[in-house]
Amino acid sequence: MQQNDSFLPTATGFKRFFTPRPLDSRELSIRGIGIRELMPPGMIERPHGTGDYLFMLFHDPAVAGMRPLTEPPGGPDTMMVWPPGKPQYYGNRERRFTHTWIHCEGRRVQRILRQTRLPLLKPFPVADPSRFQQCLLDIHSELVSYAPPDEIIIGNLLENSLRELSRLNDGAGNTVRIPENLLAVHRLISSSPAQLITLDGMARMAGSSVPYFCAQFKKTFGLSPMQYLIQHRMHHAAHLLNNRNLTISEIAAKVGYEDLFHFSRMFKKHFGSSPRTMRQSSLFPKVDPLPLVRAEKAG
């Protein structure tokens, strides 16, 4: 632990400025961290900002931005990002507020912000503030527990947290959260290729009618449920072919096919060669499958 750090416990958390900085490189430098720091009523104004990036998560209603500000305080769980040198103005004149923050800079921070396109100088809501808070706790632990701290670990922690914020922030990123009912079906297919799995059973598991389930599954995963099931079985079978201690009949059974002829026909339709030919040639398929034929049943 640095002997001349500024470490100040607060009523609900702490704040810490590092002098000297335990991590200070052109790629990434951390100047200070605050976790749920409790502030009295009032406003903080820094006309010239600071020489680093300031990420600040407000757990209570607060105003944040640059003067002049006429907006009322934003709601709780709101984040603000100030770039180096930009005026900082934040607080709540009427009541106390808590906030979690990090002062950092470096080329990696710039790259992360460019890639995630997080809003700068504009407050945005945070769906799960505990995740960002835990990230800063983990960064703080790495900074004070090891000499020197691992720059890659700290950079990855920060990048993962900011990427998650970007994904959850409205309008940022191009990914969506997969509904839990579809994930449950996906896990069943992935973990139990030998199990008898019917389309009706998958739809019941998802709590949907068969037509609606099929439409939602294909929209999410790009294949119909039965196409996806067959694809997973065929790829698992291709992987098992590497094990010369298994017969092709045993492999067929492990992926849900008791009829060896039917399994071989489905395998050849999927990969363009029979399981026996593929094993003899030792030319195992790439991850990307050949085009699938729409299937009405898997067995």
Task: Specify the pLDDT at position 187.
Answer: 87
Question: Does residue 78 carry a pLDDT above 80?
Answer: yes
Q: Which of the two residues, 174 and 208, has the higher pLDDT score?
A: 208
Question: Does residue 241 carry a pLDDT above 70?
Answer: yes
Question: Does residue 152 carry a pLDDT above 60?
Answer: yes
Tens digits of residue pLDDT in 175-205: 566 788 998 898 888 888 888 999 999 999 9
Q: Which residues are paired to 44 by β-bridges?
A: 90
Task: Specify the pLDDT at position 288.
Answer: 44
Task: Specify the pLDDT at position 285.
Answer: 54
**Cα distance between residue 84 and residue 65, in whole Å:** 14
Q: Report, as an integer, the average pLDDT of 2-16.
A: 59
Q: Which of the two residues, 25 and 11, has the higher pLDDT score?
A: 25
Q: What is the DSSP string of 254-267?
A: HTT-S-HHHHHHHH
Task: Specify the pLDDT at position 278.
Answer: 87
Tens digits of residue pLDDT in 48-77: 999 999 999 999 999 998 776 655 567 789
Using only C-alpha atoms, the chain has a radius of gyration, in whole angstroms, of: 27
What is the share, in percent, of the chain residues with pLDDT greater than 70? 85
Q: Report, as an integer, the average pLDDT of 238-261.
A: 92
What is the share, in percent, of the chain residues with pLDDT greater than 90? 62
Strands (E), 47-147: 53-58, 63-65, 78-82, 88-92, 97-105, 124-125
Instruction: Choose among 136, 104, 122: nearest CA to 169.
Output: 122
Tell the residue number behind the tokens 């180096």, with chain if given. Answer: 84
Tell me if the domain spanning 6-168 has CATH number 2.40.30.10. no
The pTM for the full model equals: 0.63
**Cα distance between residue 127 and residue 14, in whole Å:** 23
Q: Which CATH architecture has domain 180-281?
A: Orthogonal Bundle (1.10)
Element containing residue 188 per DSSP (H, E):
helix 180-191
Task: Specify the pLDDT at position 183.
Answer: 87
The answer to whether the CB of 216 falls within 8 A of the CB of 182 is yes
Instruction: Classify residue 282 by its DSSP letter.
Output: T
Q: Report, as an integer, the average pLDDT of 238-253.
A: 91
Task: Specify the pLDDT at position 67.
Answer: 73
Q: Would you kindly state where each structural domain of the chain is located, as residue ranges?
A: 6-168, 180-281
Task: Specify the pLDDT at position 283.
Answer: 56
Question: Does residue 161 carry a pLDDT above 60?
Answer: yes
Task: Specify the pLDDT at position 85.
Answer: 93
Q: Report, as an integer, the average pLDDT of 125-145.
A: 92
Instruction: Classify residue 137 by its DSSP letter.
Output: H
Average pLDDT, the chain: 86
The answer to whether the CB of 27 falls within 8 A of the CB of 18 is no
- With a CB cutoff of 8 Å and minimum separation 6, the contacts of 116 are 162, 163, 165, 166, 172, 173
